[in-house]
Structure 1
Amino acid sequence: MNYVKEFSSRDIDKPFLFSYRRCPYAMRARMAMLSANISFDAYEISLRDKPEELIKLSPKATVPVLLYNNKVIDESLDIMLWAYAISDESNHLIILSQHEREVTDNLITVNDCEFKKQLDAYKYEPIENILVRDDLFKKGLLFLESLEICLGNHKFLIGNRVSFADIAIFPFIRQFAHVDIDRFTNIKLIKTKKWFELMGSDELFLRAMIRPEFTN
């Protein structure tokens, strides 16, 4: 992953990703592309001043947006699938059984729909509204409780190795945790907290979170 300062300075022969470092959708796209060993250029957008090129490629103007060979992919899960169709040497997707793929799909659907709405409500609720924030935190915990069950006797969501599900979901759990990290640290979901620590210290995540040398 090579950050470029300008859209025009990208290598046109390489995949190009409009990204935002802290966006969970962009995080999982970067993680998938890195784990697939894809060499790509990335551009760190400014939310206050989105580049015209981004808006032209994808009118909804959200990240991530991938451009390669005149093809545009502007959904993070589609970028992940595109990456693993090119290379899945780490076996994040290809070795999953039909049942494991169904579990993966169900977890991601709940994460991207119901949990994401709860996460946004919790994240943007004013800090002085203590009772409302408490209620929103408890609602978010329901999804984490399902992850606790899913983890069972293994380290990760679908077994003892990082899979598509872990990469797709972890960035959102990270965002939920960092709304109030002390509160998150005190939850009693031991397996989920251990999984959270493993994912957060994994080399793949650390590589995906390298700060660009410049901001746009």
Structure 2
Amino acid sequence: MNKPSALPVLYSLRNCPYAIRARMAIYVSGQAVQLRDIVLSDKPAHMLQVSPKGTVPVLVLQNDKVLEQSLEIMMWAFGQSDPNNYLMSDSPNTRAEMLSLVDLFDTEFKLRLEKYRSAKRYHDESVLEHRLACEQYLKMLELKLSQHTYLMSDSPSLADLAILPFIRQLARVERQWYLQSPYPNIRKWLNDYLQSRMFSKVMSKYPMWLTEKSLIVFSADKPLS
């Protein structure tokens, strides 16, 4: 492993779904980064300098190239190492289908999920309407998971990691409904991930990054601090 100070820098937020999926890809691909967990009310000057948009995740590579989108970071991680074929590189058609599915959930589903979460949060009468809108996408995943263990096949792919954090959010909106909903395959898929060592490590609570002197290495190995 490179010296910790020479590793790429990842600005992250523990419960942000985009940051979660970036960390999962980094973990699964066996990469190591300097983890800088931030608080939104006190964003580091360096992060704002390299990425004025001010949202996480942000990955600063050793050559000072900045990756500002979670999917971009995931592709970078698996571009470094992908022994389990998360990018499905050996099947161009399936890979294209996978990326299309991720895009669908990043755009259409995410918009409907935010409306559902907001309606529930503010006790809006439109909760059912927005839940039903989300269910159209859940039915799609349920069908896929009835055919194989993961979304694309019997092996995990980038799609599983990319979509999982949003399904995790949905499962918390109306917990009782979710537990009784007609989506047993989704529940098993999500629960298997949430109970995994990988997810436990990805969701570990690390100290907030405050100064250049605070160094935390995030990888599949035990973090160094």
Length-normalised TM-score, structure 2? 0.85
Tell me, in whole angstroms, the C-alpha distance in 1 between the residues paired with 2:121 and 2:88.
43
- For 1:131-210, what aligned pairs fall within 5 Å after superposition? 131-210=125-204
User: Aligned-pair distance for 1:131?
Assistant: 2.6
Residue 119 of structure 2 contacts residue 125 of structure 2 at CA under 8 Å; is this kept in 1? Answer: no
Match of 1:71 among 60, 65, 76: 65
Match of 1:121 among 115, 123, 132: 115
Deviations 1:184-208 (A, max 9, x none): 1111012111111122222222211
SS at match of 2:6: coil
Change (3 A) 1:96 1:115: farther
Q: Which residue of 1 aligns with 2:11?
A: 18
Residue 88 of structure 1 contacts residue 94 of structure 1 at CA under 8 Å; is this kept in 2? Answer: no
Tell me, in whole angstroms, the C-alpha distance in 1 between the residues paired with 2:75 and 2:182.
34
The one-letter amino acid of 1:180's match is E
**Gaps spanning 5+ residues in structure 1: where?**
1-9
Deviations 1:51-102 (A, max 9, x none): 2211111111111000111111001111111111111123212455122212
Q: Which residue of 1 aligns with 2:84?
A: 90
Tell me, in whole angstroms, the C-alpha distance in 2 between the residues paired with 1:18 and 1:187.
36
Deviations 1:125-173 (A, max 9, x none): 2545353112111111111111112223211101122211100110111
Residue 38 of structure 1 contacts residue 83 of structure 1 at CA under 8 Å; is this kept in 2? Answer: yes
> How well do the aligned residues superpose, as a CA RMSD in angstroms?
1.8
Q: Which moved more, 1:89-98 or 1:193-202?
A: 89-98
Q: Which residue of 2 aligns with 1:4?
A: none
Change (3 A) 1:176 1:193: same
Match of 2:47 among 54, 58, 62: 54
Tell me, in whole angstroms, the C-alpha distance in 2 between the residues paired with 1:45 and 1:128.
27
The alignment covers a number of residue pairs equal to: 207
* Structure of greater relative contact order (alpha carbons < 8 Å, 6+ residues apart): 2
Q: Which residue of 2 aligns with 1:28?
A: 21
Residue 122 of structure 1 contacts residue 133 of structure 1 at CA under 8 Å; is this kept in 2? Answer: yes
User: Aligned-pair distance for 1:122?
Assistant: 1.6
The one-letter amino acid of 2:179's match is T
Tell me, in whole angstroms, the C-alpha distance in 2 between the residues paired with 1:62 and 1:182.
32
Percent of aligned pairs with the same residue?
33
SS at match of 2:40: coil
Change (3 A) 1:87 1:49: same
Tell me, in whole angstroms, the C-alpha distance in 1 between the residues paired with 2:170 and 2:81.
30
Change (3 A) 1:153 1:49: same
Q: Which residue of 2 aligns with 1:43?
A: 36
Change (3 A) 1:181 1:96: farther
